[in-house]
Structure 1
Amino acid sequence: MPEPSKVSIQEPPLNVLVLYDHISTYTTTVKEYLESFLLYSKHRIFYAAATSGNHAPPTTVDLSLFDVVIIHYSVRLCYDWHILPVYAKAVARFDGLKMLFIQDEYDHTDLARQWMKKLGINVVFTCVPEQFIEQVYPSALLPKVDFIPVLTGYAPLPNAKFSSHKPFAERKYVIGYRGRRLPFHYGDLAREKSFIGQEMRRICEARGISVNIEWEEIKRIYGDKWYAFLRDCRATLGTEGGSNVFDFNGTLKSDVDNALKKKPDLSYEEIHHHFLAKHEGNVRMNQISPRIFEAIALRTVLVLFEGDYSGVVKPNLHYILLKKDFSNVDQVLEKLLDDCYLEELTECAYRDIIESGNYSYRGFVQMVDAQIDRRVKTAKNSAILTGVVAFRRNIEETWQLVAVQPESPVVSMFTSQPIGQSESPPPGTGRLGGLRYRYQIVVMNLFNYASKLRVEHPRLYVIVRAIYRGMQTVWKIMNRLLMRSK
């Protein structure tokens, strides 16, 4: 009698909750990072807006139905005010696997380490290179935490926008770039983001070369408009990301800010000499930016300062190397006019970086799933009944509520996908519905601005906080009026 064939029994998927900041999803890289879990994980993924940007948070949170809780890097644990207390308490009480994805680890590192202990984090996916992890996160301080190095982002998710690209002869600009002015205390890597643009624009404008290079915050480009912009550029500039100056407790930023208040005309070089030099490079981050992956996906040539770039891209194979003193700028600009060379360079970069799948979100999420499987041996087997709460017909629309109580904001629930601030549905249309919604938007924007002020301008924050508390009183009065109208 033949032996019965062995049937492989597939383990049921786990219930995984991702905590995130819904205001940060206006950037493509944050949104794609969040959505990658939904697209590629074998487990059931849910999301919750868990930061101070959520203007109508739940009063209680029960995480016991989940097997795993993930804290996304958009929840900034380098601050003590960003994660909502109701979620912080719930995570601390949670008895399942707790995983943290963290970035910008050079900011208030001590506070982030305190959060790891307070929340009982088991696994941290860090952007700190492996050889520096012990220096940043001593095992004596965090003995029960596993640290796994990852990139800040990966190749863009599959998108029709990447299926074709403009011939180089049809592109409007020789070079397009959006840099950023960052505070002095972040050091040389941060300084390079604006310096490369400023110097290249000066050189190109003097030679009559068509460029679109900016570094002011108001000139930033996001979402699909950024992709459209890159498609119109023969090349874009780039530098290594992150900071090699670790400000463990915030005193370095405070010292630099105080020096600039006393003498506003201090140069970066003077600040660096007096405050930063002894800290610069003690930990080398030198990360590759997600925007480098985006440029490669669109077959836009990369002109990058010399650097390591997390070991992903190589000079003359994937990008044109620009020396930091601009001594080879003539050769760089000459190469940018050679269409055949540019085609070969971009095709090689696309094949090695994008097409290979070596730096895909699929591979990244599979790695995360493997880490979960190693640590979760017994699932809670919670059955979660999901229902239709909201819908939209295309991604340009806001969500339309179909809930029993349409006043309940979707961002306060566990949802089946991340919801951005601009996508949040308005409340129900009662007599005061439209007015109340407009009021909520004003309060939310004020609160988000105040959160930034608390760090950057403490005195102004006190004034804004007083205004906010006054508006809270008005809100209570409006609530009473609404209840009477029902």
Structure 2
Amino acid sequence: MRILILHELDDLASARRTSINHAFALVKYAPQHEYTLHSTRQPVTARLRGQVFDVIVLDTTFLCWRWARPRSLWLDRILEAYDFVAKSDAVKVALPQDEYDHAEILDNWLSDWKVDLIYSVCYDHREEFYPRVRNSARILEGLTGYVDDVDVDLMERFAVPFKDRQIDVGYRAKALPAYFGRTGQVKAELGDRFRSRLTGRKLNWDISTQERQTLVGDAWFQFLGNCKFTLGCESGSSLLDARGEIRECVERQLQRDPTASFEELEQACFPGQDMRKVYTAAGPRLFEAAIARSCQILTPGNYVGALNPGEHYIALAPDCSNAEDVYEQMQDKDANQARIEACYRALVDNPKFRYRNFVAGLLAEVRDAATRKARRLPDCGTLPGTIPDELALRESYTRAVLRAHQHHIEDVKEIRLLPNFLHAVIVTLVRQMLSLARRIRG
């Protein structure tokens, strides 16, 4: 099949590992197809417009253009530049996240483009988010990230034996703006609250919500593999901002008064609206910490329906009022080891949460959607589950990516510009192959 993946990952060196895994899972686990990977940082050429695709995937990062300001300038430009997608008869797949943010804009966009499949990470609220497109699209339950086979192998190299880990409690989180409501504030406040509750305890902390201390690539796995315990909570919002009006109001208020408190912003922009509903989903870190065999300390939540407090993680109240009890549980080495292994079995060993199986399921849904559209698709060939080993997977992945960018090389000749993305992909793949070769020799 000829598959177009639209994304916004131009610089892989600074991109989060989970974003790369999510955007290019099809390339990695179904490399037998012909891919065109197109970043919106690249020009939309005549060749791209004229090519016929069987499947078009709208990645999470591509759909983030609904947040661009001013919308009349940026989103309208995107819709105009990629109008060939709306006209295409391909099976169209959308992978949105943060669906509560600009929900109406997203719903109209996917409906106008006649999207066939939507993988919703806030699946329980799908009827609220997609009142228009749900009449024509099939909405399936999706996750913000899955377990990647290569990540499991890499962590075996990066993870430090538990007793030798230098960080007692680790945490990284982004400080979310007020327009995500009180639920959004918990994510940023959790680390500082927990640390302040246990002041005086001899713990080695590595907690930060600063953008400059964000960890990407191998550094993130090295961090998790050196943490005995990892803090966490579900990501999300307790506000539904259908058209971005709450966000615009908050940003205007902060321009007038950068020191405005959450309560002041609430009163000015969304009085009485917060916490009417809570829209949450488990982030990729849930799986990454499990891969690292770091004992997780989590606020209560659904956690993909796979984890139970006490059995798989230590439960922490959102206000950290039970921090002392959590500290006592952290001292029980046997219980913590049991939690680590139970969490690993529930998440990492469960095929349901593997990218390999997500891709297989997505391709099956694509075939069903094509049948509903009375369209014949080329043979899928080997399915993801039949790739024999990691070496074959890496080699197939490399061939698929280089084949995908052969078309972009033709575009380079047309526009006389080497896309940064092409260079970054090649460099990343070469590094992966060299790393694999060294590990095989060792």
Same fold (TM over 0.5): yes
Counterpart in 1 of 2:246? 252
Superposed displacement of residue 47, structure 1: 3.0
Distance 1:109 1:405 in 2: 35
1:200 to 194, 204, 228: 194
Could you tell me how far 1:186 is from its partner in structure 2? 0.9
CA distance in 1, matches of 2:260, 2:195: 24
- The answer for the alignment partner of 1:69 in structure 2 is 56
SS in 1 for 2:37: strand
Equivalent residue runs for 1:2-401 within 5 Å: 14-23=1-10, 25=12, 26-41=15-30, 44-51=33-40, 53-54=41-42, 56-59=43-46, 61-62=48-49, 64-75=51-62, 76-79=64-67, 80=71, 81=74, 84=78, 88-130=82-124, 132-139=125-132, 143-159=135-151, 160-163=153-156, 165-272=159-266, 275-276=269-270, 278-377=272-371, 378-379=375-376, 381=378
**1:316 aligns to what SS in structure 2?**
coil
State the TM-score, normalizing by the size of structure 2.
0.79
Q: Does the residue aligned with 2:331 lie in a helix, a strand or coil?
A: coil
Q: Which amino acid in the other structure matches residue 155 of structure 2? A: F
Q: Would the alpha carbon gap of residues 162 and 277 (structure 1) be closer, same or farther in structure 2, given more than 3 Å must change?
A: farther
1:473: which partner in 2? none
Q: Structure 1: where are the runs of 5+ without partners?
A: 1-13, 383-390, 413-418, 426-486
Q: Report deviation, 1:405.
A: 8.9
Change in Cα spacing, 1:208 to 1:319, as seen in structure 2 (3 Å) is same
| C-alpha displacement of 1:331 | 1.8
Report the more deviating stretch, 71-80 or 260-269: 260-269
Deviates more, 1:158-167 or 1:168-177: 158-167
Shift, 1:34, TM fit: 2.4
Alignment deviations for residues 104-149 of structure 1 (CA, whole Å, 9 cap, x no partner): 212222222221133222222122223x21122114x652122222
Distance 1:205 1:110 in 2: 45
Distance 1:181 1:420, change over 3 A: farther
1:77·1:111 contact (CA, 8 Å) conserved in 2? no
Moved more, 215-224 or 147-156: 147-156
Aligned-partner SS, 1:47: strand
Matches within 5 A, 1:428-467: none
Task: Tell me which moved more, 208-217 or 276-285.
Answer: 276-285
Percent identity, aligned pairs only? 24
Cα offsets for 1:421-463 (capped at 9, x unmatched): 74478xxxxxxxxxxxxxxxxxxxxxxxxxxxxxxxxxxxxxx
Q: Could you tell me how far 1:284 is from its partner in structure 2?
A: 3.1
CA 1:409/1:367 → structure 2, altered by over 3 Å: closer, same or farther? farther
State the structure with more CA Rg. Answer: 1
Q: Deviations over 1:312-358 (max 9, x none)?
A: 32211211110122221112122223322221110111011111222
Amino acid across the alignment from 1:379:
R
Number of residues paired by the alignment? 391
Structure 1 position 279, deviation (Å):
2.9
Change (3 A) 1:200 1:149: same
Instruction: Considering Cα pairs closer than 8 Å and 6+ residues apart, tell me whether 1 or 2 has the greater RCO.
Output: 2
Helix, strand or coil at the partner of 2:228: strand
Report how far residue 92 of structure 1 moved.
1.4
> What displacement does 1:286 show?
1.6
CA-to-aligned-CA distance 1:40-60 (integer Å, 9 cap, x gap): 338615132241x23x44245
Question: Given residue 162 of structure 1, which amino acid in structure 2 is its aligned partner?
Answer: M
| Structure 1 CA distance for aligned equivalents of residues 120 and 410 of structure 2 | 41
CA contact (8 A) 1:18 1:45 kept: no
Q: Given that residues 296 and 313 in structure 2 are in contact (C-alpha distance below 8 angstroms), is that contact kept between their aligned partners in structure 1?
A: yes
Measure, in 2, the Cα distance between the counterparts of 1:267 and 1:70.
Answer: 40
Backbone CA RMSD of aligned residues:
3.2
CA distance 1:285–1:311, change in 2 (3 Å):
farther
Partners of 2:6 and 2:56 within 8 A in 1: yes
- Structure 1 residues 63 and 77: CA distance shift in structure 2, 3 A: farther
Alpha-carbon distance in 2 for matches of 1:308, 1:291 = 15
Residue 99 and residue 67 in structure 1: after superposition, are their counterparts in 2 closer, same or farther (change >3 A)? Answer: same
Quote the offset at 1:290 in angstroms.
0.3
CA distance in structure 1 between the partners assigned to 2:237 and 2:10 by the alignment: 24
Shift of 1:73: 1.0
